[in-house]
Every structure is written in C-alpha cells, then in structure tokens.
Structure 1
Amino acid sequence: MAQQFRLNRRDLIRAGGFLTLSFGIAGNRSHATAAEAVKLPGDLEDTPLLSAWIRIDADETVALMIGKVELGQGAVTAVAQVCADELDIDLKRLRTISGDTALVPNEGVTAGSQSMPNCASAVKQAAAEVRHILLQLAAEKLKAPISSLKVEDGTISGEGESKITYWELVTGRELERKATGKVKPKDVADYKYIGTSVPRLDIPAIMTGQALYIQERRPDGMVHGAVVRPPTYKAKLKKVDTSKVGNMPGVLKVVRNGSFLGIIASRQDQAYDASSALAKVAEWDVENDLPGDEGIFDWLLSAPTRDEEIMNETAGAPHTPSRVFEATYERPYQMHGSIGPSAAIATLSDGGMLTIQTHSQSVFETAKAIARMLGLDPAKVRCQHIPGSGCYGHNLADDAAADAALLAMEIPGKPVRLQYTRPQEHKWEPYGSAMVVKTRVGVDDRGDVLTWNLELWSTPHGTRPDGEPGNLLSARYLAKPFAMPMPKNGGPPNYAADRNAIALYDFPAQRVVTHFISEMPLRVSSTRSLGAYANVFAIESTMDALAHAAGADPVEYRLRFLKEERARDVLKSAAQKFGWDQWRKSEGRGRGIGFARYKNLAAMTAVAIEVEVNRKNGRIRLIRVVAANDSGQTISPDGITNQIEGGVIQSLSWTLKEEVRFDKTSVLSEDWKSYSYPILTFEEVPPIDVTLINRPGEPFLGTGEAAQGPTAAALGNAVFDATGVRFRRIPFTPKRILAGLKA
C-alpha cells in the first residue's frame, strides 16, 4: 500500500529573461546508470531538473515553480514554507508561480490530497539539492570547506568577514542539473517555517478586496460571453432563428456550432439577456429517460456492472459465525455547489496563441483537451491557473475554460470573459455519484467480527478532461461532436468508487466487491473524497451497530480490531478530547464517533459529534464536534486545522441536507432554496475543536479530504444514540427522521 498513484506527466518548462534560462524536456529515465537510479520523492521523479522548480532571480528573490494550485486548501503556502526552510531564505523573498502550463512542472491534477506527499516532498528535495549546489559554489569562491559555511536568508558566510549571496553565485546555468536524491534535507530541529502557522499567502489579497478570484478579473478590452444550454443532457438542437438576437443591444456575435449556442456581447448583462432570448427561440429534441431521484437506488442495483473483487482474505476465519448482521446504505447525487459560479477568460492573440485563465484543478490536461477540441497545436494553448471562488473537485471550471475558448476563437484579440449563471452551475456540473453500499458481517458469541463483507454499487467518480475533449461538456454538442470516453474506475492504492472500501481494521476475514456502473443518468465526476464519503459512512456505521449489539463501548470495540498504533492514537485522542468516558446521556441527546485513514495511506482522522434530536419536528441540532488528525510531519498546523474544519462542515451539510433533485427529464435543483438544494447555514455550524498529532520526520500526508467519511459516520452514530433508530439513507432530513421515528 506504500506505492503512490502516478499520473502521466508532460514536462515542458520555459523560463526566459532571468539569471537561469531553462528548457526542461521530460526524458526517459530508463537510460540512467545504476549509480544514478535513485528513486526521487514525489513529482521530482517525473521532473528531475532542478531549474524547473527553483530559480534564483536577479532582484534578490527566489522563484518557486509548482504544478499544484491553490484551491483554498493552503497548499501553495505550505509548499512555500518547505522551500524557504530548505533554502534558508526568508519567506518574503520567495515568489511562487503555480499552475501556468508554460512555466511550471506538469504535476497533473491538484486532487486526491496529493499536494503534500507529491509536491511538497519534491520541493523539499529539490530545494535541499539547490542549497547544496550553492554551498559548493560558495566553498570554491570563499576557499573554505562546506562544513564551515553558514547560510542566513540567502547569504553564505565563511570565516571572518567573508560572505557571498545566492544572487552573486548564480550567474548562468548553475542550477541546470538533475536532482540526485543523494542530498539529505535539513534536520527537523533546524526548521524555521515547517511546523508553524504561517499566514496564507493569498489572505492579504482576500482581506483587502483585491481581484484575486477569476470571477473578479476584468482585463482591458474585455468582452463577455454566455452560452445556452440544452434543456436536457441528450437534447439536440433542431432549429434556431438568431437574426433578432443578433440585433439586440451590445451583441457582437451569435455563435452556433451544431447544438452549441453562444453569445459575445459588450457587457455581461447584455450577454445574459441575449442568451435568454436565444434560449426562448431554440427548438430541441428532448429525451425522457432518467430514473428520478427517488428511483436512483433501484436503478443502481439493476444496472449493468463491471464487477471486481478488490479484496478477499478469508483464510483467517476460525469458525462459523453465531450471528450475521446485514445493512444497506444509500448516498444520493450531491453537488459541489460552488459559491461562485464557474468562470474563465480566454484570449486568442494575433499570433494564434490561445491563453486561458481558469480555476481548473487540471490545467495541463484541460489545455490539451481544449487544443484537441479546437484542432490547435497543443503548444498554442496555455492555461494559467487563477483561484476560483469555490472550487474543490471537478465542477464546471474546465467547461467554463472550454466555452470561453470556443467564443474567443470567434473574436481574436479580445479577452472573452464567461461566467455561468447560478442555475447553469447547479444543473450542469458533474455531481458526486449516487451510491449503494451493503455490508454483511458475521460475529462470534462475544460480538467480535469473524467475517466482513462489503459490496458497493456506483457510477464513475472521475470524468475530468484528462486530455479528452469528450469530457468537456460543450464538445459533445458541436457540429463534429466528441464522444465521451468510456469512464474507468481508479485502481489501487487510491481507488475511486471504492476508495476506503477496504476497512482498515484487522478482521479475520474480509471481502470487498465493487460493482462499477459506467452508465451515468446524471453527469458525475470527482467531489471531495470520491467514494470514501459513502464507504466510510457504511463501514463506521456498521462498526457502531456491531458495538451496540455486543453491548460494547463504540471506541473500545473499534480498538479491538485497530492494530496500527498511529491510528489507535488518533481514535483515542478524539475520544479523550471529546470527554468520551465522562459523557453522560440526557434526553434527546446522543454522541457518535467515526474513524478512517484517507485512502488507507494518507491522513488519519477521527471525529466525535454530539447532537440533539427533536422528536416533534425531526430536526437535528449539532451541539459540538471534536476531531483528531495525524497528517505525518505537520507543515502548517493552521492549514491542517482549516482543512479538517472545512471538511467537517461540508460533510455535515452533505449528510444533513444535500441531495440533487431530478425527474425523468432533467435536474430540478437550481438554487439554494429548501426545496431545491439547501446547504448548511452559518448559524447551524457547531463549535469544532481539532487536535493535531505531529509526527516530525515522517512523510507529509494529504489532509484535504480526510474528514468527510468520519464526519458522516459520527453524525449517523450520534443520531442513533439519541433516538435508538439507525438511519442509513443520506441526507438525514427532518422528514426522514420523523418517518424513522414513527416506523
């Protein structure tokens, strides 16, 4: 399970006009000699050229270039902390460039909580090797042994008054070398920034109202775009009269390409008005074949599947169980519901270069997909990541980039800004897949697990562009449409639909089967934690039910089967911080706990929740939440805490309220209203207390998606403790709670 998931990389680094001029072309490392064949950490293995990551600039600053991007998770700041520490420079000297396909290493998609293990570890080694090279150069210049040199904020001092700076040492191609993997990073005790809560680099711009987000950008000469979506997924445009719309105020161009309809106008309101008018005169062929939100779980269980047994360890079962427990858990479609509707700005230059500013998490793959969609040389499409106001997972960011590009091709030299409306964002984004998870567990006379069986049914959790135009929404509606490629389920160790479906507990026998459904009634892709949210909810709810059936304390019961010491520490830490042993039950109140190690290889998180359930109206009041987390060596305590808190809040919202509504024709959820797609409000958010377990010297572990599953399970377990009724269908709406209490 130690093997890290790898993405294909394209390593093309262009940096001109600086002290270090580098062209880093990915090479085949199979020709390396045995002496050179050292496994490099994280993404450094795919882009070993040091100058691709770090540049010493003439203005006495250092440029850090990374392919991972900032989504609000604080990753860019954390990686900058690592770089500054290993280089021995003040953080203020560091300038970070991220997610620009023309300038940075291709680190694939910023997803799966892989920024810390793959990017931070790569930067740690790269910076250590750059520092070593600079010390070697200084030793030659100062005629002193390396061991006698000291570095402070980029100034290397020798004996007496002798000193020299990084900026005096690098005058050409000194960093044009590949990493060796043989330079030892600094000792933990010598770090200044790692392990401290450095203010996030993007906070000043946010707090002072600067145009940080793509939704706020207004470049000179900008025009506005808008698109007309079909009434349903499979609808085809029969006919449309564009003449009147073309004469509306401010309209510069009406664009039709097959079933794709777009508007380019001088102002945003004019673009929206024209697109609304265009939608009214368009005639479509509409299909009517969706199962509806109430029929989706029956549909999942009856749909054709590709079955895979991802675990089968049965040899340890000592004898026949004395009792068998079976349960079914259901998760509906759930959306990202990004607060800021997705947006992008695309500009086609006179020289034919298409530059797209986007909040996509997959800038390299999206650039390639857009190039193929437009029939352009991939070298002519550049994506620059700009943070988006609300983006965690595969929402409409890539589609906005593609739509802006389609319109920009029609009006060269003008930046085309496109931002979707709220209904478009809600109804057309790729959702988190609906799932059914079934558990069947055999126990002995004491209630201990003998045989553990889990089966899950799910549609895909990954349909990002990945270089494929067919995964861009509008590409399917063009006159020469691109077919959506057959979706695949991710394999080990990260998995996708079956992420965290293998329980971390040490059972005598465990079998896990994935029933993967490639057909998609609704468009789906990656939402935070993928299948782990539903799988951990099912596993931890089942563990809680088994504990209660055995008359055992839920924490003690889990510890019977949880052998990994660090995992045990996390579970016990959460229970202790919650006051589990001192807690006393009162009328209508309950407590619950949930645990998981994300992907069974990333951060370990336990969540304990106290709730109050109103038996008259079915409402659940969140009293408090306590979480404990082990993310390996902590880079930024505040950053990790923010990720756990954010994950808890999002999971509480999913588990209490969120469900995409749709009928047999189309999606009905198009806003935040209670009957459409409500989310947790500020006043409903409980106090959240996070305890961090730091492991200095251990690898960095991804944290961004670690809290989703444990939170859902802890909430369900707390509701059971308060009511005596086990709820297995998400979300726990007042209507469902009342129905369960009356059953």
Structure 2
Amino acid sequence: MTAPLVIDRRTVLRGTGALVLGFALRPVGAAEAAEPAGEGGGATGPRDLPGSLKTTPLVDSWIRVAADGNVEVLTGKAELGQGIATALVQLAAEELDLPLARVTIRTADTATTADEGYTAGSHSMQDSGSAIRAAAAEVRGLLVGEAATRWAVPAEALRVEGGAVLAPDGRRFGFGDLVSATLLHVEATPHPALKPPGRYAVVGQAVPRRDIPAKVTGGAIYVQDLRPAGMVHARVIRPPAPGARLQSLDDAAVRATPGVVAVVRDGDFLAVAAETEWGAVEAMRRLAAAARWSTPAASLPTDRPAGRAIRALPARDTVILDRGAPPAGDGLRRFASDFTRPYQAHGSIGPSCAVAHLDGDTLTVWTHTQGVFPDRAAIAEMLGFPPARVRCIHTQGSGCYGHNGADDAAGDAALVARALPGRPVRLQLMREQEAAWEPFGPAMLTRAEAALDADGRIADWSYGVWSNTHNMRPGGAGALLAARLLAKPFAPPEPKPIPQPEGGGDRNAIPLYALPNARVTHHFVPDMPLRVSAMRALGAYANVFSIESFMDELARASAQDPIAFRLRHLDDPRARDVVARARDEAAWTGRPRVPGRGRGFAFARYKNLAAYCAVAVEVEVDRDTGRLRLARAVAAVDGGQVVNPDGLRNQIEGAILQSMSWTLYEEVGFDAAGVTSVDWATYPILRFDAVPDTVEVHLVDRPGQPFLGCGECGQGPTAAAIANAVADATGARLRDLPLTRERVLAALAV
C-alpha cells in the first residue's frame, strides 16, 4: 500500500518532459474500435490477446525501435490531462528495461496509430496499457531471440539491460543493432513473458508527467496554441435558437472589410475567416448582425425541473436486474425516495478549437476530440471525402472529459478549410457558442424503494432510472452540429442506450451490494429536449448519488452506522477492503465532531467492473445562508495494479473536485427558446476559494492484478457523501442536484 498524498497547496512545477512530434511513413491500425480488455477463451486467436491487441495484433503497431536503440510507443488513446502518456511510457520502459528518457510516445493519430475508438469510460489502461505492456514484452523476447540466433546461444542465457541484450561473457548487442524492418512486424502471441512485479523498477513509481511543464509555463501544448505558417482565423455564427433557419444574409460589407479572407455559407452554416483573430471576431459580430433568422416555435419544457420533466416523456423499459421475488410484507419497513440530476455542461475552461488544412487532396485536422477515427469518419462523410483523404491528429485541449464542443469545432474548421484550400484554418468557438450548443450531460430521474427486515437488513430492493442516451459521439456526420445545418443536412443519429454491463443512463444502476431480492429497470427516454451526449461517468454519477444517498437513509432509519450498514451488505472482499480503508484513514469512529459540520460516506465500484472507490467527507453548513463547503475529503481506491501513483491520485483528486462542482453548483438553465446559462455568471462552477482544506487519496495497490479504470470512479461516491454529510449536519435530506443554497434553505425551513 502506498502513502497518501495530502493536498494543501499543490506543487505544480513537477517533472520534466518534452513535446515530441513524429511522423510515420505508413499507417497502421485496425479498422474498428478496440473491445474492452478481457480474458479470451477457447482456441488461441486474436481474442486471447490482451487489451487492444485483440483488434490490432501487429507488434510494431505499438512499439518501434529506432536504429539508435531508442523506442517509440504508439497508442490510439488520447492524452486528455489524465496522465496516460506518462503511464504508458512507464509500462514500455519497464518491460524493455530502458531508461525513461529513451522512450517517447505518439498518441491518437489516424495516419500512424491503432484505432482504439474513443478515449472514454476509464478504458485507457486496460485497453492500451495492457496492449503496450504485452507488446513491449514481445519486443524484448524478439530482440533476445535475434541475439541468441546470431550468437548461437540459448535465449535463456541472455538478459536485457539499458537498451542492450547482454551475454554472460560480456558480449552485447544494442537494440538498434538487432532490429530490422521485419523483426517486429509480426503478430503478438497471447502470453508473452511479462516481467514479474517483484522486479519492477519504473512501474509503481511516481514518475513526473511529461505534459505538465508546458502547461504551467505557457508552452504551446494545446490545440488553441497552434499557429502554423499562413494560418487564418475563423469564427462561426450559430443560429439564435434551436430550429432557427437563416432566411437572408447581406454579407457584402463584411466581405469587403480589409483582412477578411472569406465568408462561408452552406444552408444554415455560417462562418467567416480573417487574417487576424480580432478581425475574425469583429467580422463574426457584423455578420451575425446582418443575418436574418426565422423564429422557431418554443419547444423546451419549462413547467417543471428538467429532472422531473423527463419522467413525462415516452420511455422504452428494460429490466436489467431481476433477482429473487418480493417478500411478503409482514414485519417489513418500506421506504422510497426520488432523486434528480439536471442537465449539466462540460464547462471547459478553454472553449473548443480546431485547426484544419486542406493541402492538395488531404485534409488534416488537429483536434482535441476523444476519438480521432470516429471524428475522421464523420468529417469525411460530411464533406463527401473518402476517409483516406482525412487525417485527424489529437492535440490536447484545455479541459474536458466527455463529448463537449471539440468535435463540432473540428467539423466547423473542416468546412472552412475546404473553402480555403492551401491555408491552415484555426477555428475557435466563443464561450457563449459552446455553452449554448454543446451536448450536455443528460437530466435524470431515479426512484429507489427498499424494505428492511426486523434485523435491519435489506430484504427487498427496487430501483428505476429515467434517462436520455449518454452517447451521441461522432461516427456518422449527423453527430456534428455543422452537418445538421448544411443545405443538405445530415440527420442526427438515432439515440440508443449503451448496453450492460457498462451501460449509459443505467451505468451503476445495479448496486454491488448483496441483495437477495432486487429489481432494476432502465426507462430509456429517446426524445431529448436538449442536445445531450457523453459526460464524465455517464449515468454513474446520478445513480451512485441516488443509491448511496438511499443506503444512508436506510442506515439512519434503522439506527445503524452508515459504514457498518454497508459492510453488512457487501460480500466482495476488495470492496470491503476499500470501505474499511477509507473508514480508518478518515478516523470515522474516533475523529471529534465539529459544530456546524456533518460527516458523510459513500462507496461504489465504477461500472461494477472497474475501480473500487470509497469517499468520506466533512461538510460545513451555514444555516443562515444555506452555503455548503466541503472541508475535508478522504478517498480510498483499488484500481488494480498501480503504474503511476501520483498520476492516479491526481485523477481521484480531480474526480472529487469535479463532482463537488457538479453537486454544489452546476445546472444548465434554459427558457422556452433556448439555453440561458452561457457564461460563468449564469453557469457557476467551483472557484478556488471553495476548494477543500484537504483531500487525501489512499491507494490500495495490487501488483500483478489487471488494471481497473479509475478516472471516473470518484464522481458518484463524492456526490452522495456530500449529500449524506448535509443530512448528518442538518437532519434534512436533499435529493435534487445541485445542492444549491436555495435548496438547502428550503430544506431547513421544512
């Protein structure tokens, strides 16, 4: 087990690194997204390979050795700020016994890396990490085998160290001496000889992240920072409301403005390009004033909160758990509660941006999309290009986990670049454009019902969740906003639920607890009053908030300690370990109570198949103003084998703070005509003065165990722990997110 990190003021200038740019001469990769990692069965074949090797089995799709012996790692996953670029380098360096400085990495690029679909669902380590570790071990074996052949000695007599294969008599071959054009161009085998955890030198160490230095020193690392030679700046003009149509446009004065390069119109899509950024902004404003739009009929429901309104919409019901049978009612105490989540925005600090360049027959798009291959497919379809003519290169964006405006900006930039062949186009969305038009996290309603027996155990459980889809990411052109606005528009894709076991709106709707009689129903609502798509943790945030709040209600109703109550209903030993670790580190039973503060606890295993996370918090409640403040958070996490403990702690800290912001502040506002929360005044988020005094993250490391996705495991438990702490401090139970001052005061007044 590793020591906790306690945050008071983070030292941000940690680590060294460089931005490495590379270009491959030939494309590699599979034609479809990788499946989740898992154990294969039956005869040896692709499905026996770990992670994304299943769909891209060639070893040199993942690891390449240069003539100088240095190694390049390739991954189809994107570095989104979660630190995977560093962790994946650690895995390769470990298996190859190479110094970290001799390993570089190239991330998601449709011309050079494997197609690993989306970087989403906390799948990066189990998909790409498992593949890269196995491929690196395979490379080690191939290099050793080549040396053994040349020396005519048994491979077992050789060892690898410092980028060379060494013989017992002192002879050595550097990696670059052994590699050839074909040596690594072979399919991986199912069970390469992985290095045992007891010999790890790099894995498990807090290696400084490679992307941090440029981010804290103003380096050019974000797509917003790109400035290729000859670049023009572009801006779009969005319709004033959903459904509005562009009736007329007098753009002569804008076209004649010095510095304006082009006005681009296709149906209701409207954009302008200029030599300077400010020139583009001014032209955008003048063009918007010159446009005349139709006024669509009001279509958004405003008669009730979004979380309540969704229940009135048509739904398709699927029973995803049906265990046992409802017991007879004699002697049982029954309870029921409804919980809601509003529409919530990604709220990226930096509005989305993309750079596109039509050079000859090839369109290259630099984008912070979370899926370069699906984005390429959507852009190619929108433009009528063969996919081979479009290259998408992931470049980090300044903040987002989920489907925000990144793909829209890429589509917008592609349309403008098509109109300006030969010139790179940098298209930057304005904050109010992204805030009003991005795909939001869906509103949700849940209903939990349970019965307690005379011994205080749950004898019956029933749970329902009403939700829109949680995935409208690109793949087809209709997922791009611009494609829907064209003169020949593309229809949005049909909303579909994400199937279990991972789920979408029903993610984590099945509790991990041992319940003898339980039923869970997913009420899938295809009709979407607002545009929605993936937001970090998908439905798990609202479902864990609901289930863990309700577990707290049941514990208090039966006069049981909330943690002891959970442990009574947990059979999974790793779950019990995490709950006990958080309980002990938080000093749940011995910590003195502070007036005005409440304590809360919550637990979940993300998707019931990824990381385990338990969170204990202390919340201050100002009864006069209704203000809530998260003062202290203590988390325990079991994510399987830990590659970079500092990187993992960063992820959990981020999950706690993000969830705190969602839970206390964030709610999309709209009226009958459209979205009204278009800036930080109308869509408040967590500010620095509200950050907790301390956040502790304790890791339960399990060397040799599979990687478990961790990035989204903390959002749901944090939300429930906060609500449970408010109930502990005030006796009032808040079930509607966010827990605003107004809702706190209303609950206290009852």
- If the TM-score is normalised by the length of the shorter chain, which range does it land in? over 0.9
- Rounded Cα–Cα distance in structure 2 between residues aligned with 1:22 and 1:70: 20
State the 1:193 CA deviation. 1.1
State the 1:24 CA deviation. 5.7
Q: Which residue number in structure 1 is paired with residue 724 of structure 2? A: 717
* Unaligned stretches of 5+ residues in structure 2: 1-21, 35-40
Q: Which amino acid aligns with 1:655?
A: T
Q: 2:162 aligns with which of 150, 153, 173?
A: 153
* Pairs within 5 Å for 1:366-515: 366-465=375-474, 467-515=475-523
Kindly provide the CA deviation profile for residues 309-350 of structure 1, in whole angstroms up to 9, marking residues without a partner as x: 111102485875611101000100111100111000000002
Kindly provide the CA deviation profile for residues 531-576 of structure 1, in whole angstroms up to 9, marking residues without a partner as x: 0000000000000000000000000000000110000010111011
8 Å CA contact 2:413–2:427 kept in 1: the answer is yes
Q: 1:216 aligns with which of 201, 215, 225?
A: 225
DSSP-derived class of the 1:132 partner: helix
DSSP-derived class of the 1:651 partner: helix
- Rounded Cα–Cα distance in structure 2 between residues aligned with 1:150 and 1:321: 69
DSSP-derived class of the 1:309 partner: strand
Q: Which residue number in structure 1 is paired with residue 589 of structure 2? A: 581
Q: 1:297 aligns with which of 293, 307, 313?
A: 307
Does 2:699 match 1:692? yes
- Rounded Cα–Cα distance in structure 2 between residues aligned with 1:237 and 1:22: 41
8 Å CA contact 2:462–2:519 kept in 1: the answer is yes
- Rounded Cα–Cα distance in structure 2 between residues aligned with 1:654 and 1:500: 18
Q: 2:317 aligns with which of 289, 307, 313?
A: 307
8 Å CA contact 1:330–1:435 kept in 2: the answer is yes
Q: 2:358 aligns with which of 335, 344, 348?
A: 348
Q: Which residue number in structure 2 is paired with residue 269 of structure 1? A: 278
- Rounded Cα–Cα distance in structure 2 between residues aligned with 1:456 and 1:129: 45
Q: 1:707 aligns with which of 701, 714, 724?
A: 714
8 Å CA contact 2:28–2:114 kept in 1: the answer is no
Q: 2:336 aligns with which of 318, 323, 326?
A: 326
Does 2:605 match 1:592? no
* Pairs within 5 Å for 1:528-543: 528-543=536-551
State the 1:23 CA deviation. 5.5
- Rounded Cα–Cα distance in structure 2 between residues aligned with 1:491 and 1:565: 27
State the 1:22 CA deviation. 7.4
Q: Which amino acid aligns with 1:680?
A: L
Q: Which residue number in structure 2 is paired with residue 726 of structure 1? A: 733
- Rounded Cα–Cα distance in structure 2 between residues aligned with 1:34 and 1:713: 45
Q: Which residue number in structure 2 is paired with residue 681 of structure 1? A: 687
Q: Which amino acid aligns with 2:661?
A: S
8 Å CA contact 1:316–1:508 kept in 2: the answer is no
- Rounded Cα–Cα distance in structure 2 between residues aligned with 1:28 and 1:331: 31
Change (3 A) 1:423 1:249: same
Q: Which residue number in structure 1 is paired with residue 51 of structure 2? A: 42
State the 1:182 CA deviation. 2.8
- Rounded Cα–Cα distance in structure 2 between residues aligned with 1:648 and 1:518: 30
- Rounded Cα–Cα distance in structure 2 between residues aligned with 1:303 and 1:575: 41
State the 1:26 CA deviation. 5.8
Does 2:650 match 1:648? no
8 Å CA contact 1:22–1:51 kept in 2: the answer is no
8 Å CA contact 2:308–2:340 kept in 1: the answer is no
Q: Which residue number in structure 2 is paired with residue 359 of structure 1? A: 368
Kindly provide the CA deviation profile for residues 19-64 of structure 1, in whole angstroms up to 9, marking residues without a partner as x: xx776666999xx994556610110010001111111112331111
Change (3 A) 1:320 1:71: farther
Q: Which amino acid aligns with 2:170?
A: E
Q: Which residue number in structure 2 is paired with residue 164 of structure 1? A: 173
- Rounded Cα–Cα distance in structure 2 between residues aligned with 1:24 and 1:441: 49
8 Å CA contact 2:32–2:117 kept in 1: the answer is no
- Rounded Cα–Cα distance in structure 2 between residues aligned with 1:500 and 1:45: 27
Q: Which residue number in structure 2 is paired with residue 5 of structure 1? A: none
- Rounded Cα–Cα distance in structure 2 between residues aligned with 1:346 and 1:102: 15
* Pairs within 5 Å for 1:198-217: 198-217=207-226
Q: 2:637 aligns with which of 621, 629, 647?
A: 629
DSSP-derived class of the 1:409 partner: helix
- Rounded Cα–Cα distance in structure 1 between residues aligned with 2:649 and 2:303: 35
DSSP-derived class of the 2:727 partner: helix
Q: 1:176 aligns with which of 185, 190, 194?
A: 185
Change (3 A) 1:37 1:392: closer
- Rounded Cα–Cα distance in structure 2 between residues aligned with 1:132 and 1:317: 59
Q: Which amino acid aligns with 1:459?
A: N
DSSP-derived class of the 2:419 partner: coil
Change (3 A) 1:457 1:51: same
Q: 1:524 aligns with which of 512, 523, 532?
A: 532
Change (3 A) 1:280 1:181: same
State the 1:493 CA deviation. 1.3
Q: Which residue number in structure 1 is paired with residue 678 of structure 2? A: 670
Change (3 A) 1:488 1:38: closer
State the 1:301 CA deviation. 1.0
Kindly provide the CA deviation profile for residues 647-695 of structure 1, in whole angstroms up to 9, marking residues without a partner as x: 000000100000011001110011111xx01111112111101100001
Q: Which residue number in structure 2 is paired with residue 606 of structure 1? A: 614
- Rounded Cα–Cα distance in structure 1 between residues aligned with 2:196 and 2:605: 27
8 Å CA contact 2:46–2:55 kept in 1: the answer is no
Change (3 A) 1:48 1:695: same
8 Å CA contact 2:33–2:116 kept in 1: the answer is no
Task: Kindly tell me the number of residue pairs found equivalent between the two proteins.
Answer: 721
Does 2:624 match 1:616? yes
Q: Which amino acid aligns with 2:749?
A: K
TM-score (norm 2): 0.94
8 Å CA contact 1:82–1:124 kept in 2: the answer is yes
* Unaligned stretches of 5+ residues in structure 1: 1-13
- Rounded Cα–Cα distance in structure 2 between residues aligned with 1:52 and 1:284: 50
- Rounded Cα–Cα distance in structure 2 between residues aligned with 1:305 and 1:35: 43
- Rounded Cα–Cα distance in structure 2 between residues aligned with 1:57 and 1:318: 71
Kindly provide the CA deviation profile for residues 251-284 of structure 1, in whole angstroms up to 9, marking residues without a partner as x: 1111110001010111111111111111112122
